[in-house]
Structure 1
């Protein structure tokens, strides 16, 4: 009952936010919701499946660039070229960009491209029984390689600057407060849907099998199941969630660049999940919002020190509160319930 009350309270707060926050603060909250969507996928893969995913920035970026490419083409001038291509001396739209003029293709790519990359990578890695620290290092290497690829293709990707200056999101004017509220509402709805899907997965048979793989992969294999398939499907779902978040991030923040997709941003996403609690979806969402809010608040005055603080916080949580804040709350509630039962018996 208490969890339902907390969920209802969160929904209420999200519903009243557009009417109580300034456009700037509402934009920040919408950005945090995007990170919360990624956090749900990380909690599914790491908390339930035991896969330490350190490269979610890749899938976040794939979704973001897919959406950004469509938005740039929809705002292109008479030459049909995005502004950065004109500045870079590109005279003809690259073949890679042409399909993204179609909104249906772009929306499909937001989901399918991250999902396909994760699916192929999962088949390759999990079939070879790569896990633990080796999988974490591999996912980090993927993030680093992705950033190098984006930076090195200035004429196609915008290089270090990425894709910027978006004024419209389909029919919504991003410079209008009403358009900003609409994009925020879309982010909130997507977060809710992603949360419900992940919750259904966890509570179902597949979720129980996923936890069994996390706790004893060899035992699951002995029982006739293929852990590689279970982990690949879960990894793919988490990548799709990250892609959706990246696509929403673009109209909300107005930029998608390599600086947002590398190893450090991927680690920051992981820290939020660890702080909130990777075993509880609501904890992961709350942790992502809390950590990113703290980053906004502290990095303005302590830009360099924030990274050290964040790293120290991650270590402290893993050592002293491995289940995160959600675990501390659950433990306190269980102790309180046990004390009440003991007093009743006495």
Structure 2
């Protein structure tokens, strides 16, 4: 692992923050600003995938589960805000006299909703990760299991029409914690919150990458048994990264709802999870900015090509994914890294990777 230069990575985040928070609202129309906000939601989830997969070696193909926990928590609160003291409109269609389901009632509270967005994914990922990592489940088995959970959750939501809206999902939100969503100023506020959360996630992950935990995470990915021999529990190291990735996916899902205005099972199933993975691989899963920029690029492709070629854009994304895996396994960020390294002199090139042997010498 090449350590991040503090001034370069922090400066890059600063430039990125200025572009998102200051430049974009000035130069983009409301439509494209809303689209950029949607890409930022996927980028937040992608930053977490970069932490778990790029540095931790865990191919998390079921991030749609945690994206859904945040998205449906937010959607339920916004739906109840719109309904006021009554029952949501889609429930009335099926049974005008039916009471509000018990698990919906707490989401009338804004504080409970925010806690649910944070705690639900952390608890779920903690239980799931503990059960899997302690049994040393990894590789293809881990990837298949996480993807199966995403499929199961999407199927469950599709089948519970009266409680969750089924395939049509939850939509027609009028308020966002008391602010009218139709107001352009409020929609810009929601975008700014989302962009700021993306910047915060980048700062947190940057700090993790440069910390002792980041070195242990890479060592666990590359030589798990050696790390165990040194006295560390790889399961606990993986668990922290997995829970962190789940929290970021939930935050991305929560902000996706007020920006897009709808959440359906199609946004959380296997296809959506694979699309997140494709964006991370495209940008460069082991870099700091690669996952976020890759996810935003894939999101732009989905919005642009999906509207002009709805049946064929997925083939382009698939082909792009194959090309990147075959010829650029470290993503497009590796091209920039090689170009920068080629322009440096030997004395300016980055230090060699931290290996498990070096980690062992440092602890002895």
Q: Name the TM-score, length of structure 2 as normaliser.
A: 0.90
Gaps of 5+ in 2: 1-6, 350-364
Q: Is the 8 A contact 2:17 2:196 kept in 1?
A: no
Gaps of 5+ in 1: none
Distance in 1 between residues matched to 2:332 and 2:236, nearest whole Å: 31
**Which residue is equivalent to 1:186?**
193
Q: Name the TM-score, length of structure 1 as normaliser.
A: 0.95
- Shifted more, 68-77 versus 244-253: the winner is 68-77
**Which residue is equivalent to 2:292?**
285
Deviation string 1:63-113 (CA, Å, 9 cap, x unpaired) is: 0000111111111145x2111111121610111111111111110000111
Given candidates 87, 100, 108, the residue that maps to 2:93 is 87
1:115–1:4 Cα change, 3 Å: closer
Deviation string 1:173-205 (CA, Å, 9 cap, x unpaired) is: 211110111001100111111111111111111
Superposed displacement of residue 280, structure 1: 0.8
Distance in 2 between residues matched to 1:55 and 1:2, nearest whole Å: 32
Q: Determine helix, strand or coil for the equivalent of 1:281.
A: coil
**Which residue is equivalent to 2:15?**
9
Distance in 2 between residues matched to 1:226 and 1:7, nearest whole Å: 32
Q: Determine helix, strand or coil for the equivalent of 1:323.
A: coil
Compute the RMSD of aligned alpha carbons: 1.6
**Which residue is equivalent to 2:161?**
154
Q: Is the 8 A contact 2:13 2:199 kept in 1?
A: no
2:321 equivalent to 1:294 = no
Q: Determine helix, strand or coil for the equivalent of 2:293.
A: helix
**Which residue is equivalent to 2:74?**
67
Q: Is the 8 A contact 2:13 2:203 kept in 1?
A: no
Distance in 2 between residues matched to 1:92 and 1:282, nearest whole Å: 47
Q: Is the 8 A contact 1:88 1:154 kept in 2?
A: no
Q: Give matches, 1:23-38, under 5 Å.
A: 23-38=30-45
Q: Give matches, 1:168-317, under 5 Å.
A: 168-317=175-324
Q: Determine helix, strand or coil for the equivalent of 2:344.
A: helix
**Which residue is equivalent to 1:166?**
173
Deviation string 1:113-133 (CA, Å, 9 cap, x unpaired) is: 111111110011111111011
Distance in 2 between residues matched to 1:310 and 1:27, nearest whole Å: 22
**Which residue is equivalent to 2:362?**
none
**Which residue is equivalent to 2:150?**
143
Count of matched residue positions in the alignment of Structure 1 and Structure 2:
341
Distance in 2 between residues matched to 1:297 and 1:340, nearest whole Å: 44
After TM superposition, the runs of 4+ consecutive aligned structure 1 residues lying more than 6 A away are 339-342
Q: Determine helix, strand or coil for the equivalent of 1:333.
A: helix
